[in-house]
Amino acid sequence: MTFGLSGIPAFDYYRPANLADALILRQAQPQALVYLGGSDVFPRLRSRQLSSSALIDLKSIADFPATEVLADGTLRINPQESFIQLLPWLANFPGGAVLSAAIQQTGTPALRNHATLAGNICNASPSADSLAPLMVLQTQVILQSLLGSRQLPVQEFILGPGKTACRPDELLTQINIPVQPEGSVGTYLKLGRNKAADLAICGAAVMSFPAAGTANGLRHRIAVSGANPVPLLLENISEYLASQPAGLPAYEHAARLAADAVHPIDDLRSSKQYRTAMVYELVLRGLIACHEQLEDYTQG
Ligand SMILES: Cc1cc2nc3c(=O)[nH]c(=O)nc-3n(C[C@H](O)[C@H](O)[C@H](O)COP(=O)(O)OP(=O)(O)OC[C@H]3O[C@@H](n4cnc5c(N)ncnc54)[C@H](O)[C@@H]3O)c2cc1C
Question: Ligand 1: which of 45, 112, 122 to mutate, judged by most atoms within 8 Å of the beta carbon?
Answer: 122
Lowest mean pLDDT among 12-26, 169-183, 258-272: 258-272
**pLDDT for residue 174:** 98
Nearest CA to ligand 1 atom 48: 123
Question: Which residues contact residue 288 at a Cβ distance below 8 angstroms, ignoring those fewer than 6 apart?
Answer: 248, 251
Above pLDDT 70, what percent of the chain?
96
187 close to 104: Cβ distance less than 8 angstroms: no
pLDDT tens-digit series, residues 76-86 = 999 999 999 99
Q: CA-to-CA distance for 199 and 261, rounded, in angstroms?
A: 21
Cβ count within 10 A of residue 88: 11
Residue-wise pLDDT tens digits, 187-237: 999 998 776 667 889 999 999 999 999 999 999 999 999 999 999 999 999
Percent of the chain residues topping a pLDDT of 90 = 87
Q: CA nearest 238: which of 256, 220, 254, 251? A: 220
For residue 124, the CA-to-ligand 1 centroid distance in Å is 9
Report which residue type is found at 180: Q
Return the best residue to mutate from 77, 111, 170 for the ligand 1 pocket (most ligand atoms within 8 A of CB). Answer: 111
pLDDT mean over 271-282:
95
pLDDT of res. 9: 85
Residue 118 beta carbon below 6 angstroms from any ligand 1 atom: yes
Ligand 1 pocket: which of 25, 35, 55, 157 to mutate (most atoms <8 Å of CB)? 35
The 10 Å Cβ neighbour count of residue 275 is: 25
Burial class (CB in 10 A: 0-12, 13-18, 19+), 273: exposed
Sorting pLDDT into bands at 50, 70 and 90, what band is 300? Answer: low
SS3 (DSSP) at 287: helix
pTM, two decimals, is 0.96
Q: Give pLDDT, residue 297.
A: 60
pLDDT of residue 299: 58
CB of 165 sitting under 6 A from ligand 1: no
298 pLDDT more than 80: no
Instruction: Give the 3-state secondary structure of residue 27.
Output: helix
Encoded amino acid at 15, one letter: R
- Nearest to residue 123, comparing CAs of 38, 222, 8, 53? 38
